[in-house]
A and B are shown apart, each in its own frame.
Chain A
Amino acid sequence: MCGATTGGVSLEGVDLSKEAVIQGRVLRAGEPVPGAYVRLLDSSGEFTAEVPTSATGQFRFFAGDGTWTLRTLAPGTKADRTVVAARGRVAEIDVELGAA
């Protein structure tokens, strides 16, 4: 579920009025997956950034207005999710991985 319930990544020090934040968690069977790789692809599918997830499965990007794709890579699996970002707000998304 792409709810607003994750709430774990602190946004302290981030000027939200200037940032289009995309953040969330990578989960497998509801449990956080640390060390997965989340890639941010632009609307044409071009790579824009990549981060490994934290010990608590979290990731964050500072994007721009528009539609983006999150491509998550973990051993033996890959998942794509679409997300819409806009300056001044935080797009929260949880990525649920299938069984490895």
Chain B
Amino acid sequence: MSRQQVLVDADWVAEHAGDPNVVIVEVDEDTTAYDGGHIAGAVKLDWKKDLQDPVRRDFISKEQFEKLLSERGISNDDTVLLYGGNNNWFAAYAYWYFKLYGHENVLLLDGGRKKWELDARELSTEQVTRPATSYSAKAPNLDIRAFRDEVVKAIGSRSLVDVRSPDEYAGRLLAPAHLPQEQAQRGGHIPTAINVPWSKAANDDGTFKADDDLKELYSEAGLDWSDDIIAYCRIGERSAHTWFVLHEILDQENVKNYDGSWTEYGSLVGVPVAVGDEPGSA
């Protein structure tokens, strides 16, 4: 993949208004944002209600994903354009999720909802319904998803990238600062992980930085491009944003998102934890 194949702008949205093979999907952390106004024709996915198993901590199954997309009127050969708030955190998470279940044509709107709003573009409150489809998902592609045992084994042997803010990395904060800080897990990071906050890959308006700036950002932080890379954050949405940068924009192979992330790792019994601003040793 490359930037041209995965990122589009508002002009693209205008050019494809009414295209029956394009489905615009808004994915938010604040799931009420969509109801207050959305891009014309967009349907909504609730990252928590729709994309998480209601009982276990895991994704919905292949069958549940098929049912969800069929109900939303998304076909296998549709181009899905994702956008959302929080600088596209959850839209990037959904992008990664669609790729995990093998959807071919997925795009991200550069800058997401924020840039759309800052450019004072139109939002619609019209209810959107699409005729149901019969969606068929593939088996999950685990080449792009990491689990905890693999992460523990990666300490000191593979490249771990912690994409949270410096204060979360160091253990001074336990969650992004728009959320209450009272959490069960310990503070800190996985030893040997470098800290490259997701936000360094984005401009203030939420758009991604230029390819050369992105490459320089990770190189300067000490990322070994020849190595397998695992990105993580707190719950896997900001690291999906970084996964998108590395795997989709910069076309880097062997990048996984560890969606268990710090809420899982920081609660594990017996695993090593590093506190402070330095990566620490294996």
Contact = CB atoms under 8 A, between A and B. Distances in A.
Interface in A1-59: 14-15, 18-19, 35, 37, 39-40, 42, 44, 46-52
Contact of B182 (A18, A44, A46, A49): A18
Contacts of B131: none
Nearest to B165: A48
B165 A73 contact: no
Interface string B115-136: 0011110000000000000000
A48 B177 contact: yes
Contacts of A18: 181-182
B167 interface: yes
B204 interface: yes
B180 A62 contact: yes
Contacts of A42: 165-167
A14 B181 CA distance: 10
Contacts of B30: 52
A86 to B, nearest CB: 13
A97 interface: no
Contacts of A35: 117
A63 interface: yes
B207 interface: no
Nearest to B87: A50
B100 to A, nearest CB: 26
A62 B119 contact: no
Contacts of A74: 118
A51 B178 CA distance: 7
A21 B60 CA distance: 35
Given A46-B199, A47-B197, A48-B167, A73 B205 contact: yes
Nearest to B195: A46
A71 B204 CA distance: 10
Contacts of B180: 14-15, 19, 62
Contacts of B179: 49, 62
Interface string B205-216: 100000000000
Contacts of B250: none
A78 to B, nearest CB: 8
Contact of A47 (B117, B173, B199): B199
Given A48-B177, A62-B179, A73 B204 contact: yes
B86 interface: yes
29 contacts: A14-B180, A18-B182, A19-B182, A35-B117, A37-B117, A37-B118, A39-B204, A40-B177, A42-B165, A46-B165, A46-B197, A47-B197, A47-B199, A48-B167, A48-B177, A49-B178, A51-B178, A52-B85, A62-B177, A62-B178, A62-B180, A63-B173, A64-B173, A64-B181, A71-B204, A73-B118, A73-B205, A75-B117, A75-B120
